[in-house]
Amino acid sequence: MSKASGLEGVVVAETKLSSVDGERGRLVIAGQDVETLAARATFEEVAALLLGAPLSLGPTRARAFERIGGLGDALDRTDGMDALRAAVAHLPGDAPAADVVAAPAVFVAAWARRRAGHGPVAPDPARGHAEDFLAMVKGAPPRHAERAALDAYFVTVVDHGMNASTFAARVVASTRSDLVSAVVAAIGALKGPLHGGAPGPVLEMLDAIGTPDRARAWLDRELARGRRIMGMGHRVYRVRDPRAAVLERAVESLARAGVAAPRLALARAVEREAVTLLAERHPDRALRANVEWYTSVLLGALGLPPALFTPTFAVSRVLGWTAHVAEERALGRLIRPASRYVGPLPPNEPGVPSEA
Ligand X SMILES: CC(C)(COP(=O)(O)OP(=O)(O)OC[C@H]1O[C@@H](n2cnc3c(N)ncnc32)[C@H](O)[C@@H]1OP(=O)(O)O)[C@@H](O)C(=O)NCCC(=O)NCCS
Interacting stretch for ligand X, rule CB under 6 A, among 83-91, 130-138, 178-186, 229-237?
229-237
Asked whether position 228 contacts ligand X by CB under 6 A, the answer is yes
d(CA 60, CA 38): 24
Residues 6 or more apart in contact with residue 123 via CB below 8 angstroms = 58, 61, 62, 64, 65, 105, 106, 132, 136
Interacting stretch for ligand X, rule CB under 6 A, among 49-57, 230-238, 303-311, 320-328?
230-238
Per-residue mark of binding to ligand X, 197-216 (x: CB under 6 A):
-x------------------
DSSP reduced 3-state for 162: strand
Per-residue mark of binding to ligand X, 160-199 (x: CB under 6 A):
----------------------------------x---x-
**Closest to 26 (Cα-Cα) out of 231, 241, 293, 294:** 241
Size, binding site for ligand X by CB under 6 A: 18
Compute the half-sphere exposure of residue 348: CA atoms within 13 Å on the CB side of its CA. 0
d(CA 38, CA 246): 7
Asked whether position 234 contacts ligand X by CB under 6 A, the answer is yes
Annotated active-site residue 234? The verdict is yes
Interacting stretch for ligand X, rule CB under 6 A, among 13-21, 180-188, 246-254, 283-291?
283-291
Closer residue to ligand X, CB minimum distance, 134 or 277: 277
d(CA 249, CA 294): 9
DSSP reduced 3-state for 353: coil
Q: How far is the CB of 268 from ligand X (least distance, A)?
A: 17
- Footprint of ligand X on 49-108 (CB under 6 A): none
Asked whether position 287 contacts ligand X by CB under 6 A, the answer is yes
Q: Which residues, listed in sequence order, are joined to residue 162 by a DSSP beta bridge?
A: 160
* Residue-by-residue DSSP string for 278-293: HHHH-TTS---B-HHH
Candidate residues 100, 230, 297, 315; the one interacting with ligand X per rule CB under 6 A = 230
DSSP reduced 3-state for 349: coil
Annotated active-site residue 280? The verdict is no
Q: Give contact residues for ligand X (rule: CB under 6 A).
A: 6, 194, 198, 228-235, 278, 282, 285, 287, 290-292
Q: Known catalytic residues?
A: 234, 292
